[in-house]
Every structure is written in structure tokens, then in C-alpha cells.
Amino acid sequence: MTNAPNALTLCADMLNPGVNGVFAVDGQPPEGGLELLWLTVHTDGKVSVMLNKIEMGQGSSTALCMIVADELDADLQRVGFVQALYDPKYDDPEFHAMLTGGSTSVRSMMGPLREAAAAAREMLKTAAAERLGVDASELTTENGFVIHGEQKIPYGELVEKAAGQAVPESPPLKDAASFRYLGHCARRMDIPDKIAGAARFGLDVRLPDMHYAALAWPRAYGATAESWDEDAALAVPGVTEVVQTEIGPAVLAENTWAAWKGRDALAVQWSEGTQPDLSTEVLFEELEALLDSSGIIAADTGDAPGRAEAAADKIDLTFHQPFLAHAPIEPMNCTAHVRPDGVDLWGPTQFQTGWAEKAAEITGLPMESIAVHTTYAGGGFGRKGMLDGARVAVHVSKACGKPVQLLYSRDEEFHYDAVRPGSVARVQAGLDANGKIAFWNHRTASASVLAGLLPFMLAETGLDFTGVEGVSEMDYGIGALRVEWLRHETPVPIGFWRSVGSSHNCFVRESVIDELAAVAGEDPVAFRLARMTDPRAAGVLKLATERYGWDRELPEGHAAGVACDHCFGSYTAQVAEISRDPESGAITVHRVVAAMDCGQTVNPLNIVMQVEGAVIMGLSALVGEGMEFADGGVATKQFNTYPVMRMDASPEAIEVHIVENAEAPGGVGEPGLPAVLPAVTNALKTLTGERVTELPLSRKK
């Protein structure tokens, strides 16, 4: 990054949190000290932050520690985090549950953590004032000390006295101008242990008498086991037992490989599934048919359908986008120990409350008897928010009476993933005589994301807002807007995928905007700026295009495309420069320049890393990803049939520029993904003259 006005500059002298970033893997922090709900100041001066979010590579653990360190005036090198056990007192204030998702870790926890840190700071000052016999107003705090003139008292010496005080209800918060850490670069606290092999992931859990489990899964959705060969499974070396659970037969073994081989040896005979003819073709036929039916109105200002019908000149495009797997490097896993008096669960879950509720439902035990121990996750992207791993592990442990560890094979991970829904959308849009967007009639068909996991978030009308996010409200002035969502009922499990509805709606919206710019005869950047209604949206577009050099001459055979998005409280704009092999049609993405306005920044280094990763994940989805279905279930089995982007195919350069302001913090983990897809396809339109309306680029409908 560079020293531009209103843009943060990444620093070379990054803060180093030291090697003591993690004080415990789960449960409670070391005893002793000034203990508040979200943090503890210990007698040795170290500070533990109670983490209610899973660390899955997104860097939120470091960001939350930085927030506490800054407000507490602590030394960041002596601040670490403790992964909280499931407890409703640690619920996210936005979700009212222990849940990591929606790019909310900083957005929802900055307030509670700052208030807790400010309260602890004031309590330490009061304790120091009593010790020194002075008024607390005469004291200052800095780097883990309370200071009075030349006297400096370490926090650790004050915690016992401070612990006896009442916690202030409304402690004063620091002014942003006095932040020491927020807005500056810090290395991730979780990385040293990961490099050293000391970080604890779900598969590192070991318990006395623990067995490794594998469930026999049906290949078709809704099928049930009718018969199986138990003797053949028991003959596999390492297999110790075959148990019948409420959801099917399971194999227990001395190791995971033996469990998998024993499961295969069961040779289960299955009943017919819920929809035996289900296939990729059938799913998209269903989606296409929905466009001819009535749906749920998400936005309706003016008579967009009528104006579209009457318009002689209009854009009329239909878009097809695939079902997408999460495909994390670490497959779903869970270790469960069901006892008569309680349940312990260990694993990489984004939804601790959901795991606890599922265990209570299966066992009939009260919620307070369920302990969820959250480990690190090897990638989540929404996948680790699903409940299937815990469901299976609890059923198997309940049936056998032993602690069990369940690990999905890669085949199972693809087969039983709760995927991003496929979608089909039709948009009719046109301009008035003055070149303004006169009407936009948008109909989109997809399955509900909320219905499976968070049904209480559906609107009274049945609307799932994720199906229309990014199109029911836009940052462009539109005379008449109508958005209609048509719900697709399918046996395919549906879940949250990184950036959720924006992952497909941004592609549609920004493709249509480019088409309208062509109709108007205007440059696509100028067209957007002239019709944007939000100054922050215009700001990131200007920053991205300026840093890219939008008006510069490109090498022969190259083209650049632009796209914008506004989701999860943040604004993004991206420019992609590409070329295309005229013989093979293969696309090379040479450079992506991204700008982000996420309000008050915490760790700019982490923002850059998150946007870089999101860009690559978005490009991977654009170019080659797409689930295939056949014979009532999933046909995709391994990465050889679900190609994710490799390093040699990633852009030669990804640049990230951050708008500097004091607005409320927005999300970071997801907003960097959606815009890169239409940025590339808009560039491709310039090269080929053809509008891409079907993804991935490697597959035709």
C-alpha cells in the first residue's frame, strides 16, 4: 500500500505479540487476578481475553486481543486469548448465541470488549489511587502500568485490590486519536503455535479409551440402511465393534483408516432416496421453472415489471450459478463423549450453541450438562457452522457408551456438505432518456440458507434475506425496483458459504450495470460514479481505479473490468486485469486491485490477508468450482472433480488498499470475495464481446 490521502499504509515495523499469545486451548484462564466476563488481568501482569469466537484462520483472535490491549492500556505482548467453553453468558450480542459468522467478530465484540477493558482500567486506577493516597483523576495508564508522576505501578500488583471493587457500569472509553494498537499492523497471535505444531485442532484430541468412528452414509439423499454385512466389517484389522445408531450402522476401530475400511466392508443395501432422479440437470430445470411462478416480494418501488414490459430497449439476461462446496482443507470432525450425566464435545465448530443444542436433543440431557470445547479450525467458510459432525458423533457415542472421534473422508466431506445453493436469476433493466436507471425487475430462484440452521431469521412472509442481499437494496439510484425471491425446495442440504447471498447476487448486479453502461455509451467506472447514491461506495471505487490506473493503456490482448459490492457493513471495489488464450480460451488473471472501506480498522495487515484470500477463493469459484449431482445424491467426490485454484493459476499480483475513516467497523472476512467474479467477467466481455451469464467458466449448463 502507498501513502495516499484517506488510505492506510501498511507498516514494515509490524508489532510483534510475542510467543505467549495463547494461554490455554479451552476452558478457563489461569486462576487469580482481576476477573471480568471477557478478560482477566493476572497477578503477573498478563491479560487473558475470553474468546467466544473460533479462530479458523481469519485472525479475529488477534484483533479482539488488540481491542482489549488498546482500551486497557496493556502491553500487547502480554495479552493472549483463552477459548471459552460453551456458556450462554458468552453469547454473541448480535446472534444471542455462541456463533462465528457473518463477518461479525469485530463488529459485534468491539463494544463489549472495550467496555470490559475500560472497566478493568478504571478499577486498576482506583486501586492505585487508594494505594498512593491520591485522587484517581491524577493517574494515567500506559503499557500495563498505572502512572502518577515518576511512580509506575504494574497492573499485576493492583489486581487483588481492584478485584474487590464493584465493576463500573459506564466506564469512559478512549478517544480513537489515542489508540496505540488499533489501526496498526500486528502479526497473528495464533501463528507461532501453528508453525511449531503446538496448536490444538480437532484431530489432536485424545481421550482414554477413545475409539475412531465411521458412519455408513447413504449415497442418495433420504435413503435408509436396509441390510449390511457386520461380519465383513469385523474382519477388517483394527475394527473393534459395529453399532446400530438411530441414524444408521457405524464402525468403531483402533484408528480412522480401519474405521473407514470397516465402514466400506459393511456393503450396506440402501432404500431408494427422497428424489432418485435428482441430478445437476434436474436441479436447474427446477430453478428455471420457478422463474415462471410467483415468489416473495423483497423490494417494490414503482412499477418495474410494467415498465420492463413496455420498454422497447432493455437489458434482459438470465444467469445460472452453481451449487458450491466449502471444501476446507480440514474435513468435518468431532470428538464426543456421551455419559449418563453429560456430554463433552471437542472440535472446530463455528456454532457452539448449535452443537450443544443438538447434543441435548439427541441425549435428552439438559443444556447445562453439555460442554463444547472449541479447537482451532483448518478453514471454515461457513462449513464449520453446520451441525452434522456433532450429530453423528453424539449418536455413535451414545450407542456405544465410549468416547469416539469422527473424521469425514474427503468423499464424505463433499457428499454431506451443506452447500451454497445454486441459483437462476432473470433481470430486466433499462435507462430513461436522461441515461438514469429507469427500472430494474429482478427475479431470483434459490434454496433457503436460513431455513436449515436459523429458521427464526426468516421474515414473516417467508423471505430469506440472504437470497436477495445485494439486490433488494443497491448503492445505485433506480427509478423503479422490484426484487422477487422464489424459494427452491430441494433435499440437497443448504448452508452458509463465504459472503452468502452476495457471492452470487453481486455477479448478477455488476454484470447488468456494465451492460447498462454499454447501452449508455459510457465508461463503466464513470457510469457507476454518476449513479451511486452512497459516498462510501463511490470512495472505494475511486480508490481502486486510481491505484490501478484505470485510464492507462493496456498490453495487447489484455482487458480490465471493474465491480463493486457492499455487504456485511463494508464497501469494496475491485479491478481485474486479464488476458485470454485465443486457442484454449483459458483466462489468466494478471492483477487484481482491491479497495475496502470497513470503517474503523483494527489490524490492517489482517485485512489485507483476508481480502487476498477472498479474491483467490472468488476466482476459484468463478473458474472451476461447481457441485455435480446424479442418481439422487452428490456425484462430486474428490478435488480431481472439484478443482480449486492452485498457486500457479492465482493472480500475479493482488493489491489491497484500505480507506481510512472512523465509521463503525464493518466485516472483513467475507466482503472481499463477491466483486472479483464480475470484475473478471466484465473484462472478459471487453475481450470477447460476449456476456458471461453462466458459471463456472469451465462448465456449460
The pLDDT tens digits of the residues spanning 427-453 come to 999 999 999 999 999 999 999 999 999
Would you say residue 26 has pLDDT above 60? no
pLDDT at 5: 33
Span 101-132, pLDDT tens digits = 999 999 999 999 999 999 999 999 999 999 99
**Mean pLDDT, the chain, whole residue set:** 95
Q: What is the percent of the chain with per-residue pLDDT over 70, rounded to a whole number?
A: 95
pLDDT at 18: 34
- Give which of 569, 627, 573 is closest to 414, Cα–Cα: 627
Helix (H, G, I), strand (E, B) or coil at 326: coil
pLDDT at 312: 84
CATH of segment(s) 280-324+419-688 = 3.30.365.10
Span 645-657, pLDDT tens digits = 999 999 999 999 9
SS3 content of the chain, % helix, strand, coil (to 5): 30, 25, 45
Under a CB-based contact definition with an 8 Å cutoff, are residues 158 and 127 in contact? Answer: yes
Identify residue 245 by its one-letter amino acid code: T
Q: Which whole number is the average pLDDT over 339-361?
A: 98
Under a CB-based contact definition with an 8 Å cutoff, are residues 327 and 382 in contact? Answer: no
The residue ranking higher by pLDDT, 606 or 26, is 606
Would you say residue 701 has pLDDT above 80? no
pLDDT at 700: 54
Span 554-603, pLDDT tens digits = 999 999 999 999 999 999 999 999 999 988 889 999 999 999 999 999 99
Count Cα neighbours of 586 within 13 Å in the Cβ-side half-sphere. 6
Provide the pLDDT confidence category of residue 375 given band limits of 50, 70 and 90: very high
Under a CB-based contact definition with an 8 Å cutoff, are residues 336 and 404 in contact? Answer: yes
Would you say residue 3 has pLDDT above 90? no
Packing angle of the helix pair 524-531, 535-548 (nearest 10 deg): 160
Q: Which whole number is the average pLDDT over 25-47?
A: 81
Would you say residue 27 has pLDDT above 70? no
pLDDT at 30: 57
CATH of segment(s) 202-272+332-407 = 3.30.365.10
Identify residue 509 by its one-letter amino acid code: R
Q: Which whole number is the average pLDDT over 261-280?
A: 97
CATH of segment(s) 14-196 = 3.30.365.10
Would you say residue 14 has pLDDT above 60? no
Provide the pLDDT confidence category of residue 699 given band limits of 50, 70 and 90: confident
Would you say residue 85 has pLDDT above 50? yes
Would you say residue 29 has pLDDT above 70? no
Provide the pLDDT confidence category of residue 465 given band limits of 50, 70 and 90: very high
- Give the start-to-end residue ranges of the domains of the chain: 14-196, 202-272+332-407, 280-324+419-688
Among the residue ranges 20-29, 214-223, 447-456, 688-697, the one predicted with the least confidence is: 20-29
Which residue matches cell numbers 464480475? 678
The x, y and z cell numbers of residue 586, run together, are 483459458
The x, y and z cell numbers of residue 322, run together, are 452453481
pLDDT at 16: 35
Rg (CA), the chain: 27
pLDDT at 172: 97
Contacts for 341 with CB less than 8 Å, ≥ 6 apart: 365, 369
The residue ranking higher by pLDDT, 390 or 9, is 390
Would you say residue 466 has pLDDT above 60? yes
Which ranges in 227-279 belong to alpha helices (H)? 230-234, 256-265
Q: Which whole number is the average pLDDT over 4-16?
A: 33
Would you say residue 300 has pLDDT above 70? yes
Under a CB-based contact definition with an 8 Å cutoff, are residues 674 and 509 in contact? Answer: no
Would you say residue 4 has pLDDT above 90? no
Does this chain's domain 14-196 share its CATH topology with 202-272+332-407?
yes
- Give which of 398, 389, 408 is closest to 243, Cα–Cα: 398
pLDDT at 7: 40
